[in-house]
Amino acid sequence: MVRDPLLQARFLRDIAELQNEPYPNISLHSHEHNLDKACLVLTPDGWPPIHLTVQLPSQYPLHPPRIRADSRIKHPNVYGGYICASILNTSEGYTPAYTLKSIAIQLLSFFGSDTIEQEEGGFRDLIHLRKANWVLSQTFVCPECDFEVAVSILESTAPSTAAADEMTMGDTLRPTTTTTPLSTLPDELLLMILNHLDYRDLTVFAQAWERVSRAITTCDLIRIRELQCFVLKKDTTEERLGIGVAVSGGKRLIASEFDIISRRAVNELNVRHSIHHIPFHHWLPLPISRYNWKRVKYDAPSILWTIGLAAHLPKLDAVEVLTSFMSDIVVRLNRVESADLGDAKFTSTLQHASEKAIESYFHLFHLLVCLATDDSRIVRDANAKIQSFLDGNTAKQFCPNLGHLLIALLISDIAPTEQLRTDIITEAITRNVVWLLDKRGANMPELSYLEPDRRSPYRLAKSFAGSKTSYRLLMFAELFQRMARPSRDKTLVEVREELFARHGAPPAGAAALDTTLRTYPCSPVLIMT
């Protein structure tokens, strides 16, 4: 069977992971003369051992493995050797992000659960099936892995307490000793060791040694491990990483699930769906690390231009396209209904996983800062936009999009002032008038009548209720400004380096940004406090 070299590398990684880093109650044995097949033996709690045969197709992991039960099993979702599980048999249930190990763990849970959901609805109880499976006659013998279960399986493999009885109450386990001075181990060597541990061992090591716990936190090891292509399972040292981007030209929308994916997975393997099966059309690099940015920085402007062209944006400048992308994320974060992007049949996870949306916004901010520090004209243009607004050019003909102005403020040398905030809020309220009156907007035509009284509680309440989305967007911009660039004491280069140190992640406490945005009583006054 001929595999693409990229798929072959991922295939071998998955086999090696499950064999070198075994999971309790799971055993994998590759066939000696055919690596495309393997024996998978599961031992769910309370069940006899279950032998499965795994067939990995040439397009694995783009296509799911074919797994068949060889042991006799009494289970409502097993028919002969066929296993009716969504991760194996449906495009919605499977994703290339699953490794062979994660699939095996899910199957272990599939058999070990007390109940299981049925396609026709409801749940089936499985507890009574465990004893029934112990007394089933088993005749399957595997010549590849020497799996063999006797007919009297209940007597031969049922749990026993004999081994436990051999240890007396006075017996104790003596700790092993070592003469290696681990405390003097250089940080660089310690990090190399930690990078080769799986997540479970890393967690145990951190609990046992405070220095390891500090190293994990300081170097952000857990996050770094997550920054890998979900298809190839490779990080920035091996692949150019970015995200898949979807566009809707008719609505001028740009969106992404921000699942990290490599350029080669998109261009060479033609992957066009996110982990949750939402389609995308383009690949956009991200400055996840200095090395990744060094390799993709010259591609980013042209890729942004292509995305802007596909989205039918009025301006195709790289920064304008990126600014539109950032604005769309904030709008989606505040929207009750998900955006309709063409023929997408699945709902985006970004607006529901709002912490992820904020992290995504930081990734794009990091990209914006990298572009701005590489090209001084970008900062000069941002300064000109802000200064023009301060000079009184606030109308739509001078400033078509207030959201873009607020993003320009993030990289501008001009610090936000109370006067600038007041002008932005005033202009936002003015621009909302059409929305409030239009039946396709807030549909409040009664507000066109101007009361003779100087103050109208009714007008104030209705205007506020119809403009909450705008106020939330303004509040998000202000809160993000305070978190990402609270003052101009730090240069953009310093801001960029801090983002590189965090691999584009938000600083500590960023989760409060979403909480405040969603729960705080929204008012334009908040922007000025």
Residue for token pair 């007396």: 168
Burial of 159 (0-12, 13-18, 19+ CB in 10 A): exposed
Closest CA to 78 of 98, 50, 49, 105: 50
- pLDDT of 451 higher than 70: yes
Locate the domains of the chain by residue range.
5-157, 185-226, 405-529
pLDDT-based confidence at residue 213 (cuts at 50, 70, 90):
confident
Burial 493-527 (b: 16+ CB within 10 A, else e): eebbeebbeebbbbeeebeebbeebeeeebebeeb
pLDDT greater at residue 424 or residue 352: 424
Residue 327 in tokens: 């604005």
- pLDDT of 450 higher than 60: yes
Task: Give the integer Cα–Cα distance in Å for 266 and 95.
Answer: 15
Query: Residue 113 corresponds to which amino acid?
Result: S
CB 350 within 8 A of CB 278: no
Average pLDDT of the segment spanning 292-301: 97
Burial 8-43 (b: 16+ CB within 10 A, else e): eebbebbbebbeeeebebbbbbbbeeeebebbbbbb
> 5-157, superfamily in CATH?
Ubiquitin Conjugating Enzyme (3.10.110.10)
Residue for token pair 């500590």: 508
Read off the pLDDT of residues 266-295 as tens digits, 9 standing for 90 and up.
Answer: 999 999 999 999 999 999 999 999 999 999
User: What is the pLDDT, as a whole number, of residue 120?
Assistant: 67
pLDDT-based confidence at residue 504 (cuts at 50, 70, 90):
very high
Average pLDDT of the segment spanning 147-176: 46
Q: What are phi and psi of 8, to 5 degrees?
A: -65, -40
Read off the pLDDT of residues 399-420 as tens digits, 9 standing for 90 and up.
Answer: 999 999 999 999 999 999 999 9
Read off the pLDDT of residues 243-266 as tens digits, 9 standing for 90 and up.
Answer: 999 998 778 899 999 999 999 999
CA 197 to chain centroid, in Å, comes to 22
Read off the pLDDT of residues 73-92 as tens digits, 9 standing for 90 and up.
Answer: 988 889 989 999 889 988 88
Residue for token pair 């001075």: 181
pLDDT greater at residue 81 or residue 125: 81
- pLDDT of 167 higher than 70: no
Task: Give the integer Cα–Cα distance in Å for 429 and 470.
Answer: 9
Task: Give the integer Cα–Cα distance in Å for 15 and 100.
Answer: 7
